[in-house]
Structure 1
Amino acid sequence: MTRAEFLAAYGAVYEASPWVAEAVWPPSGDLAAAMRAAVDSASYEQKLALIRAHPELAGRTAIAGEMAEASKREQSGAGLDRCTPEEFAQFQRLNGAYNARFGFPFIIAVKGLTRADILAAFRARLDNDPQTEFDTALEQIHRIAGFRLADLPEPKA
């Protein structure tokens, strides 16, 4: 696999952040662990940019269809494209409150969760302090990346 092929295949594992895949080229060993280490050793600014690269749940980019394909599949799989008007209104209120409090979108690995699960987590995490929520967002991003990697073939040398 060439560098260009690797980046094409794995560059979107971390949302709109191909620098993560670039950091682990050439791949060797546990790709998930290497990508996680690249993020964990990144600067605060890089981590914040990574968090901010994620779309809001049931937010404006989802409505406009402007999300990455993986995010569309993930949100659709959790039923976020089928919100009732009341649920949609709750998501909009919570997105606004969360962004105002923390300065980045709420992030949760939605795979296996219902809309009610996601809304409950949203409400609970609004009470977190900013550092806890920053760390939680990164941990959720690692979970999302793990799910995305599991759907991709192992890179070939």
Structure 2
Amino acid sequence: MTLAQVNALDRAAFVATLGGVFEHSPWVADAAWPGRPFASLDALHVAMVAAMRGAPEEAQLALVRAHPELAGKAAIRGELTADSTEEQSGAGLTNCSPREFARLHALNRAYHVKFGFPFILAIKGLDREAIIIRFAERFEHDRATEWEEALKQIAKIARFRLEAMIEG
């Protein structure tokens, strides 16, 4: 799909097309729609990130919590979105050794206990080892720092997804 085609979509089609860019959160696309026409992919991304950032904290928290754990229960049960499945598979998380899987499971649990939301990382271009290292490093953060990092990572994930969907 081209950016011109995206700009030509009515609100319902725009939300249906871009509603999954932010995990299980079509409200982000809906909030960005009035900014059409977008001059560039960058402008579309900026509008969507602004919608996310401008939302009440409860909506942001729901968005953060909509993201699946890396190599977590949803992946095991086959319940990930197509985008999340592709991202986790591309990083090799579907091929974890038992030791790596146990480590990721423990990190997911401990992270959620400490911060109250899942660990979010834009994993495109990373391998399992790099993901585990980043996971462990971010335990050193306080909640406010990690909250900000989660939103930055979500914006980065959204950018990757937009680039995969929209030509040019």
TM-score by length of 2: 0.89
Partner of 1:108: 121
Equivalent residue, structure 1, for 2:31: 23
Residue of structure 2 equivalent to 1:32: 45
Gaps of 5+ in 2: 1-8
Superposition map of 1:81-100 within 5 A: 81-100=94-113
Selected match of 2:155 from 142, 151, 154: 142
- Identity, % of aligned positions: 53
State how 1:36-75 maps to structure 2 within 5 Å. 36-75=49-88
User: Is 1:78–2:91 an aligned residue pair?
Assistant: yes
Please give the root-mean-square deviation of Cα atoms over the aligned residues, in Å.
Answer: 0.9
31-40 vs 2-11, which moves further: 2-11
- Stretches of structure 1 that go unaligned for 5 or more consecutive residues are none
Q: Which amino acid aligns with 1:24?
A: A
Q: Secondary structure at the match of 1:37?
A: helix
SS in structure 1 opposite 2:135?
Answer: helix
Task: Kindly indicate whether residue 22 of structure 2 is the aligned counterpart of residue 14 of structure 1.
Answer: yes
Deviation at 1:127, TM superposition (A): 1.2
- State how far apart, in whole Å, the 2-side matches of 1:73 and 1:149 are: 14
> In 2, distance between residues paired with 1:66 and 1:12?
15
Report the TM-score when normalising by structure 1: 0.95
List per-residue Cα deviations over 1:14-66 (Å, max 9, x = no partner): 00000000001142221100001111111111111110000000000000010
Structure with bigger helix share is 2
Q: Quick one: distance in 1 between partners of 2:135 and 2:166?
A: 32
**Which one-letter code corresponds to 2:54 in the other structure?**
S
Q: Which amino acid aligns with 2:24?
A: A
Partner Cα distance (2:138, 2:107) in 1: 10
Q: What secondary structure, in the 3-state scheme, does the structure 2 residue paired with 1:109 have?
A: coil
SS of equivalent to 1:151: helix
**Which digits, 9 at most, give the CA deviation of each residue in 1:102-138, with x for residues without a partner?**
0111000000001000000000101110000000000
Aligned with 2:25: secondary structure?
A: coil
Deviation beyond 3 Å, 4+ runs, structure 1? none
Aligned to 1:120: 133
Displacement after TM superposition at 1:72 (Å): 0.4
> Counterpart in 2 of 1:131?
144
